[in-house]
Chains A and B, each alone.
Chain A
Amino acid sequence: MKIAIIDYGAGNVKSIEFALQRLGFESELTSDANTIKAADRVIFPGVGEASSAMHMLQSTGLDRLIPSLKQPVLGICLGMQLMCNHCEEGDTKGLGIFDVNVVKFNTDLKVPQVGWNTIFNLKSDLFKTVEENSYMYLVHSYYVPIHKNSIATSDYGLDYSVALHKDNFYGVQFHPEKSGKIGEQVLENFIVNSNK
């Protein structure tokens, strides 16, 4: 099993590598197109600001590579947001994998949302053995509205998509690598079940 973690200068990606190690999987941090294409699973992380992250993807051609991948791909946090059509943050055109726009929380609650929130309406094998209303760790100011590709919901002033799935592409807004044992279960499910 070859797992590639796309490295395009986006913040703390070591934690994903370490989480996979704890699960017994080796992975490779890489920006090399051939290595990514040859991997059995691809993880597309992302923290930081949308438009600068998109610029980094464009400067290396990863913006064209990612939508063309055929193996299971998991976008995490900003990675998932960049897989959508458009991000309000920095008025950023996304990769267009999920046909939905990412918008800013418009709420009296604190923004960014920082901390542990519940996820529910769980669909797909990504959440196999994960119980409804499990807690996941989130940090974000922008969200994906409920959409036909939603496979999990959370609420922060309103219900929104906290995970997406379409064909071989998966996205999670929460950080599975930072969400305790349940988060690790989601990562393991992606590695083990996503090709079924």
Chain B
Amino acid sequence: MLTKRIIPCLDIKNGRTVKGVNFVELRDAGDPVELAKIYADNYADELVFLDISATEERRKTLAKLVEEIAKHINIPFTVGGGISSVEDVALLLKSGADKVSINSAAVKNPKLISEVAKRFGSQCVVVAIDAKQIEGNWKVHLVGGKQPTDIDLFEWAKEVQELGAGEILFTSMDHDGTKAGFANEALAKLSEELHIPIIASGGAGNVKHFEDTFKLGKADAALAASVFHFKEIEISDLKNELKSNGISIRI
């Protein structure tokens, strides 16, 4: 039986893990490869690397890092952050990334999704959607959730599926950072209306939140950052508990 996926997300700046990682076993707390390896060895199902650097050198630095990750990590990983052209995608896939995550650029230029899907296959296209509720309606936000748009979350999600997205990574800006649980109602609606997998993001605080997002939110995968980086939740404990609560999980 296909299992639900647990996905730690690592923020990367200039080729280094952004501060806020609390692992005593790390020799170099800023080395994304070392941290990724620990997660892979502890049964993370996939990894997401989100590049937040803004330098002109970023593309080259990121491609080099992706190659290092691919050399050492034996599970799938997605790379995102500032991807805006087919060439950006080609460079990352060629360096060893399995998937890319496209966010704001997809809203500004939806054709990018179909171009990437056509050239490299839908399996490598994750469309990341940041949204929050405005007067009860879920609206897509850009630039890391800072810039609101008029676009309805569910309409947009359906459109990106039609354009060839292989998966959707939905982050609720209303839940992100709250540690109060995922946006399960919106997630369940996405899952019911779409046929591609949905990755839940934003709001993970405890093990029950993961259980809820799989059961109530019908999510196919759940992504989190700080609860893993600060060891508030150990992935092995999380997976054991989910499994004993009847969720299909790889241990």
B-contacting residues of A (Cβ < 8 Å)? Answer: 11-12, 14-15, 18-19, 21-22, 47-49, 109-118, 135, 137, 139-140, 155-156, 175, 177-181, 183-184
A113 & B97 in contact (Cβ 8 Å cutoff): no
**Contacts A/B (CB < 8 Å), 11 sampled:** A12-B94, A14-B94, A18-B96, A22-B71, A48-B119, A48-B123, A112-B122, A114-B123, A114-B167, A114-B197, A179-B75
Q: Quick one: given A12-B93, A12-B98, A135-B3, are A47 and B70 in contact (CB under 8 Å)?
A: no
- Alpha-carbon separation in the docked complex, A183 to B75 (Å): 9
**Of B3, B72, B74, B195, the contact of A183 (CB 8 Å cutoff):** B74
CB-CB under 8 A from A109, the residues of chain B are: 2
Query: How many of chain B's residues have a CB under 8 angstroms from any CB in A?
Result: 35
Which residues of B lie under 8 Å from residue A12 when comparing CB positions? 70, 93-94, 96-98, 124
- Measured in the bound complex, the distance between the Cα atoms of B93 and A19 in whole Å is 16
Q: Beyond A11-B93, A49-B121, A137-B76, is A18–B1 a contact (Cβ under 8 Å)? A: no
Q: Which residue of A lies closest to B5 (CB)?
A: A115
The answer to whether B98 and A15 touch across the interface, beta carbons within 8 angstroms, is yes
How many Å from the CB of B50 to the closest CB on chain A?
Answer: 19
B3 touches A117 (CB 8 A): yes
Interface string of B68-80 (1 = CB under 8 A from A): 0011101110000
Given known pairs A111-B195, A115-B45, A178-B76, the reply for A11 and B2 (CB within 8 Å) is no
Q: Are A114 and B120 in contact (CB under 8 A)?
A: no
Is there a chain A Cβ closer than 8 Å to B11's Cβ?
Answer: no
With A48-B121, A112-B166, A137-B75 already in contact, the answer to whether A118 and B70 are too (CB < 8 A) is no
